[in-house]
Structure 1
Amino acid sequence: MKRRLKVLVVVIAAVSAGGAWYIHSKQPVRSGEVSLTNLQAPVSVRYDERGVPHIQAQNEADLYRALGYVHAQDRLFQMEMMRRLARGELAAVLGPKLIDTDRLFRTLGIRQHADAYAAKMDPAKPANQALAAYLDGINQYQAGHPAPLEFDILGIPKRPFTTEDTLSVAGYMAYSFAAAFRTEPVLTYVRDELGADYLKVFDLAWHPEGVLKPSLAANDWSDLNRLASLSQQALAEAGLPQFEGSNAWAVSGSRTASGKPLLAGDPHIRFAAPAVWYEAQLSYPGFELYGHHQALNPTASLGHNQDFGWSITMFQNDDLDLIAEKLNPDNPNQVWYRGKWVELQSREESIEVKGGEPVKLTLRRSPHGPIINDALGSTAGKTPIAMWWAFLETENPILDAFYQLNRADSLPKARAAAEKIQAPGLNVIWANAKGDIGWWAAAQLPQRPAGVNPNFILDGASDQADKPGFIPFSANPQEENPARGYIVSANHQPLPASGIEIPGYYNLPDRAQRLDQRLSDNSVKWNLQNSQALQLDTGSGYSQRLLQPLLPVLQAAASAEEQPLVQLLAEWNGEHTLDGIAPTLFNQLLYQLTDATMRDELGDSFFDNLLSTRVLDVALPRLAADADSPWWDNRSTPAKEDRASTVKVAWQASLAHLRQTVGENPKEWQWGTAHRLTHEHPLGKQQPLDKLFNVGPFAAPGGHETPNNLSHKVGPAPWSVVYGPSTRRLVDFADPIHALGINPVGQSGVLFDAHYSDQAEPYIKGQYVPQHFSEAEVAANTQSTLQLLPTK
C-alpha cells in the first residue's frame, strides 16, 4: 500500500508540475495511423461520441485483430485482473492478503482445465482463428504502448495474453453463476443441525426424507462455512464482473406498434469501473454486428444487426454439486467410490506472492471432482468435500457457440448455436426481422439418481453424486414463436414441456410476473418508448406478499406516534422511487426480521452467508405467513418468543436504526438518500485511491428484484447497490439501425479519459443513447478515426 501511495503522490506531483505527458501517455489513441503486423489490409476504426469503435475490415482475421487492439487500449487493466483472478495469480501483484483467493481459484481447477482444453483446440476452427487474431491484437497493443497507470501503481509486469487466459476467464464467469457453492452448506446445516421444521420455509421442491446424509463433524461444518464465506468474499471484493440475474423479452410483430419483433435485454451484473461490456460495431464483407464483448473474448455475448439480435439471462440451473467423501481410516489418500477404496489424485502448484515466499499447494481430486476444502490449506477438517461442476465435466464449446450465434440469422441456426452452450446455463432470447422470436434454456443438464436433491451436500460413498448421463437439449425449456406473442426471461423457474425437473437456485417469480403482467396486456402495442418504461419499472409485488400477513402484527406493535408509518407500508404499492419513504422502511424491516429470526439459530457466519443467497428471498414471505414457525423463537433467551413479540423487536430496531443513520425525522428517510450506487474500481477499495478511480455515489431508484434491478444485499441502511442492469438494450426490427442502449459507467477503463465515466449520470437517470449502425449515422457521429495499417 505504501508503494501505491508513493506512486500516486508522484503522479499528482508530476501533473501539478506540468508533467501532463505522463497521464497523456496512458490515454487511448483514437486518431492517426498505426502499423500492425499480420494485417492483410488497412482497417478503419471510427470512434463515435461515446468512444465506441466502429471497425471496418476487409476480412475476418483483420477484424478480430483490430478488435483486440482497440479493446486492449481501453480495457487492458481489466483484462489483466480478470485473468489473474481466474488463474489464481492475484497475490503476485496484490500481496499476501490475496493468497486465500488464489488458493480458492487454484482449487476449483479452472487453471488446469483451461490449460488442458487449450492444448486440444483445433487451430483451424474459425472461432479459434478469431480468438488467435484477437489475442494478437491485444498483445501488439500491449507491447507497443506504455503500461496502464494501474500497472505502475501495482508493479504489474507485462506478459502476453494467451488462449489459456481467455478460457480461464470463461471459467471465472461460469463460477460466478454457481450459487450452489454459497447455498448448499447453509441449507445442509439447517436440515441436519436444525431439522425439517426449520427447513420448510425454504420451500425446496424436493423433500429430504429418506435421503442419505453425509457424516460431518463440527470442524467440517466450520470448513463449509469458511468456504462459502471465502467464495462470496472472492467474488465481492474482486471489483470485477459477476453475473447475478437478468431481464430479457422478445415481442412478436403482432404485439408491436411497428409490426416487427422487438427485443429487450438488461443482464444484471455486479457494478464496477470499468463496466463489464465493451461495445463495438464490427464489419467486413458479408458480416456486420453491433456487439457487447467481455474482456478477452472476441465474440459478442450480446448483439444485433439489421437481420437478427439476441440477449441472455442466467438460467440458474444447479450445475455444481458438493460431495462429502468417505475417507479410508487406514489410508488418508483413499475414498470410498462405487464399492471400493480408490486413490485420490494430487498435483502440486505454487502461488507467487508479492513481497513474500511462494506458497506451495497440494491439490487433490476424487472421482467426483476437485477436493475444494484443500483451499483452506492445513486448517481443513478431516472430511474431503469434492465438487462436481458441469463446466469441468462437459465438452462445452462455448467459444464456438457464440461465434455461431454472432452469425445466426435464422431460428435453426440460433438453436444450433444455443445447443453448444453447456456451462454455465444461459437463457438465449432471440428475434429477427423476418418475424421470428425464440428462447432456449441453454445448458447440458446432468441426470441425477431418482430422489437425490442437489440442494444439499451429497454423500460420496453412495450413488447420490453419480451422473449417469445428460438430458438431451431437445428436452430443455424452450419456445419458438409462441401463440401468446411474447417471451419473458427473468431468472424464474422454467416449466419445460418435457416435464423434467431442473434443480436450480432460481430467482423469485415476482419480477417475471410483473413483466408478464404488462406484456400480456393486449391493449398495448409495444415500441421503444413504452419498453423503456418497462425496463425502468421500480415496482415489485414482493413487498406486499411479505407485508400482508405482518400488517396486523405491526399495527399492534406500533405506538400511536408510529401508526402513520405502518399505514405508509399498508398503502405502499411496492414502487422504489427516489423520494419514497416506504421502501426505506420496508428494506430496514426486512433485514431486522431476518436478523431477529435466523441469526440465533445459524450463528454469525452461516447467517452472513445466508444473506447472500437467493433462497432467503423465498423463505421470508413464507416465514411471515407462518405464525407457528420455530424460527420466531430466540434461542438466546429463556423465554419462548412468538411472531408478535419478534416482529415488535424487529420494528423497534428498524426505527431506531433509521433514526440513527438516516435522520431523526421519518420525512428524511427517502429511498434516494439511503440507496446509492458507486462504481468501484479494483484499486478504489482503499483511500485515497477511491477518490480517483471510483465513480459515484449516485442516488439509485429501483431495488432488489424490481425490473429496474438496482439491487443491494439484505442488510441495514444505508444500502450500497451491488448489481443491476449492465446495459439496457432495445431493438425494434422494423428499424434496427436505430437501436438504443446505455453503459452504466463509460466505454473506457482508462483514468482521465473522456469516456471513463461519461455515461454514469445518464444511466442512473434512466436515459438511453443511440447505437449508431448505418453508414450515414456512423459517419455523422464520428469524432475521430484511427487507421490500422499493415506493417510494410
Structure 2
Amino acid sequence: MKRGLALLVVVIALAVGAGYVYVQGKLPRRDGEVAVAGLQAPVSVRYDTRGVPHLQAQNEPDLYRALGYVHAQDRLFQMEIMRRLARGELAEVLGEKLVPTDTLFRSLRIREQATLMARRQDHQAPAWRALQAYLAGVNSWQASHPKPVEFDLLGISPRPFTAEDTLSIAGYLAYSFAAAFRTEPALTFIRDQLGPEYLGIFDLAWQPGGALGTPLAAADWRSLETLATVSHNALTALAVPQFEGSNAWAVAGSRTRSGKPLLAGDPHIGFAAPAVWYEAELSAPGFNLYGYFQALNPFALLGHNRDFGWSLTMFQNDDIDLIAERPNPADAQQVLVKGQWQPLEHSEQTIAVKGGQPVTLQLRRSPHGPIVNDVLGESAGNTPIAMWWAFLETENPILDGFYQLNRADTLGKMRQAAAQVHAPGLNFVWANARGDIGWWAAARLPIRPDGVNPAFILDGSSTQADKLGFYPFSANPQQENPASGYIVSANYQPPGAMPIPGYYNLPDRGRQLDRLLADTQTQWDTANSQALQLDTSSDYGPRTLAPLLATLRAVAEGDEEKELVEQLAAWEGDYPLGSINATVFNQFLYELAFAAMHDELGDAWFPVLISTRAIDAALPRLAADADSPWWNTRGASQPTDRTGVVRVAWQQTVQHLRKALGDDPASWQWGKAHTLTHNHPLGVQKPLNLLFNVGPFPAPGTHEVPNNLSAKIGPAPWPVTYGPSTRRLIDFADAGQALTSNPVGQSGVPFDKHYADQAERYVQGHYQKTQMGAIPAHSTLRLVPGG
C-alpha cells in the first residue's frame, strides 16, 4: 500500500510538473532579448505594471513590426477567432453548431469585399506598408512560438494572417453595429400583420403608406424571424466584442480647471475575455501615440499624446436596407427591378466542418445586394430578401483614414481623416493642447427617395430601394469649437435640419451628460469627470413610471407591496449596488412589456423586438398612452385595458422576485441581481468556464445611464452584456498622466498574471495612469534584427 501511495504521489507530481511546464511555455515573454526577422534596428519594449507595452523604435516599419509581435504574444487567439468569425470559418474548428453563423457571414459577402478593398489599396501608401509590417510581426511570433492553449484544445493549425483578415474584421465591426436584421423585420411585421396603429409607440406614424406591394406569406415571416434570431445569436454566442453605443465629450479650456481642453470617452462594447482593447504606447522619430488597438489592426481606434487625442462613439446611422424582391412567377431566378426582370447572380462556397462533411452554399445576389435569407435553406420562404449595405457599396478607405487619424493634430487634419471612414458610421470627438475641440459624424450617408423610411423592409419592385447617391461629408453632423465650450456624443439622434435615419439610443443618457456639462459654474477636471463617467442615474425609470403610479397604488396588495410602490414613486432613477427600487423597476419593465405585447407578437417576434433599441423608446410611450391598442389582450374572455395589464405585470413582478431573490424585499439588492462576467469564447462550454471566464462581479449602473453597464430586458437575474470597454480621461494640461481603465486585463493568455488583474478594480470604478514617456520599466523586452 505504501508503494502504491508513493507511486500515486509521483504520478500526481509529474502531472502537476508537466502542467506547470506546459502553462509556462504559453506565457508571453516580457524581458530579455529576442531576435525578430525583418527588423532594421533594435526596438525597446518597456512593460509597465499592468503589462502594457511601451515601444520605442528607430523607424516606422520597425515600430509596427514590433507592435504586431507583442500584440500576437498577448492576443493571438483573439486574432484567430475574430478573423474566423468575420470570414465565416468557425465551423472548421468549432463544429457543426457554428454552420448557421458561418453561413450568415458568408452571405454578407464580407470576405469578397475585403479582397476587393485589399486590391484597391495603394501598396506604396504609408498605411499599407505599416499594415504589412504589423502583419509580418504577428506572423513572426506565430511561426516561432508554441501555439496558444486554445489552439491546442480546438486543434487549430496556425496559418499566416493577411490584410484580407484585417479588412474582414472591419466588416464584422460594421455589421455588429447594424440593428437592421432585428429591427426592420419586427417593425414591418407589426405594421403589416397588426396594423399601423400599433406603430404609435414607436413614433413611426410617418411610415410609407400601406404594406409591401406584394404581401409576405406566412413562410416569409417565419424566415425573417429566424433570420433575426440567427443574426442576434451570431453576435452573442461566441463572447466576441459587439459594438453597442458610447459616451464621449470634450470640454474647452474656458470650462476646465486647468485652462486646457479635457477629453473623455468610454465606448460601449460587449464584454469578453480578453478585453476588446489592447493598449500600447508607440514611439518613433516624429511620432508618439498612446493607443487602443483591436485585433489585427495596427492603427489605434482610440488614442492620444501630449498634443491631441480623440474618442469615438457609434453614429447609429442606418446603413443597411432590407429589401423584399418580387420573383418572376415564370422564373424564380429573376426579380422585378425598375419594371424589368433582372437575373440573380449565383456563386458557390464551401464551409469546412470539424468532425463532419463540408457544407456547400449557393449564394445569390440581386441588383440591390446579396440575398440574405438564403442562409435559411429550405425554410427561407419564397420571397428573396436582399441587403443593401454601405460597407459593400462604398470605397471606404478606412486604413488610410485611421493612419491619418493617429497623426491628426489639427482640426483640418482631423476633419480630413474622419472623411475617409465610410462604414461603419462613427462619431469622432477630438481635442488638442492648442485649445481646439471638435466632433465629426463619419459615414457616407445615402440619399434615399423622398418618403422612404428604411426602418421597414423596402419593396424591391418599386423605387423605394433606389439610392440617389451619397451626401457630401460636409453635410454630416459636426461641430468645431462651439460657443457652448463643450461637445457631447452619446448615440442619440444628432440635431440638425437633415433627418438621418438610424437606430439611435434613448436621449436620456446624453441628456444626463448634457445637463451636467452645461452648468457654467462647474470647472471640469479629471476628478469630477470620473464622477460623471461613473454616474448611475437617468430619468428613464421615473418618467416611465410616472403615468402608471396611480394604477400601481391601486393594484398593490398588502402593506409590503404598497410600500414597494411608494419607494418606486420616490425613486430618482439611480442604480447603485444596494438599490431595491432598481431591481423592482427592471423586473416590472420586462413584465409590462410581456403582458402588453406577447399576446400580439408571440414566442417568435416578442424576443426579437425586446432585443432591439426600438423597445427602449416604445415602453415609456406605451405607459403614457392609455388608449394604445397594445393594452387589449388578444384571446382574453373580456376586453382589457391599461389597468388590467399593469395589475398582471405587477403581480408577476413580485412573484418572480420572491422566487428568484427571496421572500424578503430587503434582499432584492441590485448588485445581487445584476452581475458582470467576462466570457471567453471557450468558456461557453462547461467546465471550461471555470478556467477561462472572469467573474461574476456585482455591477452597478444599467442600460442608458452614463455608467452604461447594460443587460438586456428580461427577467431577473440580469447578466451584464456590454458597457464601457475602457474609461479614458485626458486633461491636455498634462496628457502624459491621462487616466484609463481596462475591464479585464491586458493579456489574453490564460494563467498569465495580466489576464484578469484589473477586472475587480474596473467594476469598482477605479482608474489607472497611462504612464506615457520615459516610465520606470517593470520589465524590458529588447527586440533585435535576426531570427
For normalisation by structure 2, the TM-score amounts to: 0.98
Q: 1:13 and 1:252, CA in 2 relative to 1: closer, same or farther beyond 3 A?
A: farther
Between 1:431-440 and 1:15-24, the stretch displaced more is: 15-24
1:19 is displaced (CA, Å) by: 3.8
| Equivalent residues of 1:441, 1:477 under 8 A apart | yes
Counterpart in the other structure of 1:662: 661
Q: What 5-or-longer segments of structure 1 have no aligned partner?
A: 1-10
Counterpart in the other structure of 2:783: 788
Matched, 1:369 2:369: yes
Structure 2 letter corresponding to 1:206: W
Counterpart in the other structure of 2:622: 623
Q: 1:152 and 1:18, CA in 2 relative to 1: closer, same or farther beyond 3 A?
A: closer
Counterpart in the other structure of 2:749: 750
Matched, 1:640 2:639: yes
Q: Hey, what's the Cα distance between the residues in 1 that align with 2:139 and 2:230?
A: 33
> Once the two structures are superposed, what CA deviation does each residue of 1:260-295 show, in whole Å capped at 9, x if it has no partner?
000000000000000100000001000000000000
Counterpart in the other structure of 1:155: 155
Q: Hey, what's the Cα distance between the residues in 2 that align with 1:179 and 1:228?
A: 10
Structure 1 letter corresponding to 2:243: F
Structure 1 letter corresponding to 2:425: G
Counterpart in the other structure of 1:296: 296
- Counterpart of 1:193 in 2: which secondary structure? helix
- Counterpart of 2:29 in 1: which secondary structure? coil
* Structure 1: 4+ residue segments shifted above 4 A: 11-15, 210-214
Structure 1 letter corresponding to 2:782: Q
Aligned ranges 1:35-434 → 2 under 5 Å = 35-204=35-204, 206-209=206-209, 213-434=213-434
Counterpart in the other structure of 2:471: 471
Q: Hey, what's the Cα distance between the residues in 2 that align with 1:768 and 1:605?
A: 43
1:206 is displaced (CA, Å) by: 3.2
| Equivalent residues of 1:101, 1:234 under 8 A apart | yes
Q: Hey, what's the Cα distance between the residues in 1 that align with 2:303 and 2:213?
A: 46
- Counterpart of 2:547 in 1: which secondary structure? coil
| Equivalent residues of 2:657, 2:668 under 8 A apart | yes
Q: Hey, what's the Cα distance between the residues in 2 that align with 1:461 and 1:148?
A: 51
> Once the two structures are superposed, what CA deviation does each residue of 1:109-154 show, in whole Å capped at 9, x if it has no partner?
1011112221232210111111100000000000000000000000
Counterpart in the other structure of 2:4: none
Q: 1:130 and 1:626, CA in 2 relative to 1: closer, same or farther beyond 3 A?
A: same
Q: Hey, what's the Cα distance between the residues in 1 that align with 2:178 and 2:532?
A: 29
Q: Hey, what's the Cα distance between the residues in 1 that align with 2:373 and 2:526?
A: 50
Counterpart in the other structure of 1:22: 22
| Equivalent residues of 1:576, 1:583 under 8 A apart | yes
Matched, 1:518 2:522: no
Q: 1:205 and 1:159, CA in 2 relative to 1: closer, same or farther beyond 3 A?
A: farther
Counterpart in the other structure of 1:719: 718
1:705 is displaced (CA, Å) by: 0.4
1:673 is displaced (CA, Å) by: 0.5
1:176 is displaced (CA, Å) by: 0.2
Counterpart in the other structure of 2:6: none
| Equivalent residues of 1:66, 1:788 under 8 A apart | yes
| Equivalent residues of 2:325, 2:459 under 8 A apart | yes
| Equivalent residues of 1:291, 1:302 under 8 A apart | yes
Q: Hey, what's the Cα distance between the residues in 2 that align with 1:665 and 1:578?
A: 17
- Counterpart of 1:644 in 2: which secondary structure? helix
1:207 is displaced (CA, Å) by: 2.6
Structure 2 letter corresponding to 1:592: E
- Counterpart of 2:291 in 1: which secondary structure? strand
Cα root mean square deviation, aligned: 1.2
Q: Hey, what's the Cα distance between the residues in 2 that align with 1:361 and 1:774?
A: 52
1:208 is displaced (CA, Å) by: 2.7
Q: 1:12 and 1:579, CA in 2 relative to 1: closer, same or farther beyond 3 A?
A: farther
Structure 1 letter corresponding to 2:313: T
Counterpart in the other structure of 2:553: 555
Q: Hey, what's the Cα distance between the residues in 2 that align with 1:515 and 1:258?
A: 21
| Equivalent residues of 1:14, 1:22 under 8 A apart | no
Structure 2 letter corresponding to 1:477: P
Q: 1:159 and 1:12, CA in 2 relative to 1: closer, same or farther beyond 3 A?
A: farther
- Counterpart of 1:297 in 2: which secondary structure? coil
| Equivalent residues of 2:199, 2:205 under 8 A apart | no
| Equivalent residues of 2:238, 2:684 under 8 A apart | no
| Equivalent residues of 2:726, 2:740 under 8 A apart | yes
Q: Hey, what's the Cα distance between the residues in 1 that align with 2:117 and 2:329?
A: 36
Counterpart in the other structure of 1:3: none
Counterpart in the other structure of 1:4: none
Structure 1 letter corresponding to 2:157: P
Q: 1:708 and 1:125, CA in 2 relative to 1: closer, same or farther beyond 3 A?
A: same
Structure 2 letter corresponding to 1:557: V
Structure 1 letter corresponding to 2:544: L
1:14 is displaced (CA, Å) by: 6.6
Q: Hey, what's the Cα distance between the residues in 1 that align with 2:157 and 2:414?
A: 41
| Equivalent residues of 1:214, 1:457 under 8 A apart | no
Q: Hey, what's the Cα distance between the residues in 2 that align with 1:214 and 1:320?
A: 21
> Once the two structures are superposed, what CA deviation does each residue of 1:406-432 show, in whole Å capped at 9, x if it has no partner?
000000000000011110100000000
- Counterpart of 1:788 in 2: which secondary structure? strand
Counterpart in the other structure of 2:528: 530
1:18 is displaced (CA, Å) by: 4.8
Structure 2 letter corresponding to 1:550: L
Q: Hey, what's the Cα distance between the residues in 1 that align with 2:547 and 2:380?
A: 44
| Equivalent residues of 1:439, 1:487 under 8 A apart | yes
- Counterpart of 1:549 in 2: which secondary structure? helix
Aligned ranges 1:482-631 → 2 under 5 Å = 482-496=482-496, 499-561=497-559, 562-631=561-630
1:205 is displaced (CA, Å) by: 7.2
Structure 1 letter corresponding to 2:754: H
* Percent identity (aligned): 65
Counterpart in the other structure of 1:769: 768
1:560 is displaced (CA, Å) by: 3.0
Q: Hey, what's the Cα distance between the residues in 2 that align with 1:14 and 1:284?
A: 47
Q: 1:130 and 1:579, CA in 2 relative to 1: closer, same or farther beyond 3 A?
A: same
> Once the two structures are superposed, what CA deviation does each residue of 1:26-71 show, in whole Å capped at 9, x if it has no partner?
0001111111111111000000000000000011100000000000
- Counterpart of 2:365 in 1: which secondary structure? strand
Counterpart in the other structure of 1:738: 737
Q: 1:372 and 1:629, CA in 2 relative to 1: closer, same or farther beyond 3 A?
A: same
Q: Hey, what's the Cα distance between the residues in 2 that align with 1:700 and 1:711?
A: 9
For normalisation by structure 1, the TM-score amounts to: 0.97
Structure 2 letter corresponding to 1:502: I
